[in-house]
Amino acid sequence: MSVSAEATVVITHEVGLHARPSVKFTKLAKTFAAEVEIALAANGPWFDAKSIVKVMAAKAPKGTVLHIRASGDGANDAVDALVELVRRDFDEGADHVRTA
């Protein structure tokens, strides 16, 4: 894809990009028309950020540097919003640990 916006953010959520955070992440990504992808390294592999199956398959634990890139309509807004969501710990307390 012809990338028009890209950013990185560190996942601080205790259990990483796990079930509940992934639901929030993909829901938010789907609100943008732009094509959005994530990766655990700058050179990929890249995963569709609107697919929970792909996002979960990335298995990003706490401490991962998450790469987010987008292209098309609202690419910048999409990357900004998703980076913010990760920074806000997916709107869950930092100590929220879900073990089961």
Partner 1 sequence: MRVKGISASAGYAEGPLFDLDKTVVSYVGKETADDEKAALETAIAIAAGRLTVLIEMAVGDAADILEFQIAMLGDNALSSPAFAAIRTGLPADKAWRQALDAEIAGYDASDQDYFRARAADIRDIRDQVLRALSEDGDVPAPAGAILYGEDIAPTRFLETDWTSGGGIALKAGSTASHVAMLARSRGVPMVVGLGSSPAHPAGIALLDAEHGGIVLSPSKAEIDAFRQSSSSFSARRDRAGTFLARPAVTKAGTMVRVQVNIADPSDVDGIDIATCDGVGLMRTEFLFGKTLPDEETQYRAYRKVLEWAGDKPVTIRTVDAGGDKPVPGFTVAEGNPFLGLRGIRLSLARPEVFRVQIRALLRAAVHGSLKVMFPMIAIVEEYRQAAAMFAEEQAVLATRGIVHKMPPLGIMVEVPSVAIVPEAFTDAAFFSIGSNDLTQYVMAAARDNAAVAHLNSVRHPAVLRLIAAVTAFGQRENIPISLCGDASGDPASIPSLLEIGLRDLSVAPAQLAMAKAAIADISV
Q: Following DSSP, what letter does each residue of 35-73 receive, concatenated?
A: EEEEESSTT---EETT-HHHHHHT---TT-EEEEEEEST
Using the structure block, give the residue that is written with the tokens 């807004």.
77
From 4-12, 34-42, 53-61, 65-73, span contacting partner 1 (CB under 8 A): 53-61
Number of residues located near partner 1, criterion CB under 8 A = 24
Query: 7 or 89: whose CB is closer to partner 1?
Result: 89
Rounded distance, CA 98 to CA 77, Å?
A: 30
CB count within 10 Å of CB 67 equals 18
Q: How far is the CB of 38 from partner 1 (least distance, A)?
A: 14
Pattern of binders to partner 1 over 2-41, x per CB under 8 A? ------------xxx-xxx-xx--xx--------------
96 is annotated as an active-site residue: no
Question: Beta strand 65-71 with 5-10: parallel, antiparallel or unpaired?
Answer: antiparallel
The residues of the shown chain that bind partner 1, judged by CB under 8 A, are: 14-16, 18-20, 22-23, 26-27, 48, 51-54, 56-57, 59, 61, 95, 97-100
Residues annotated as part of the active site: 18
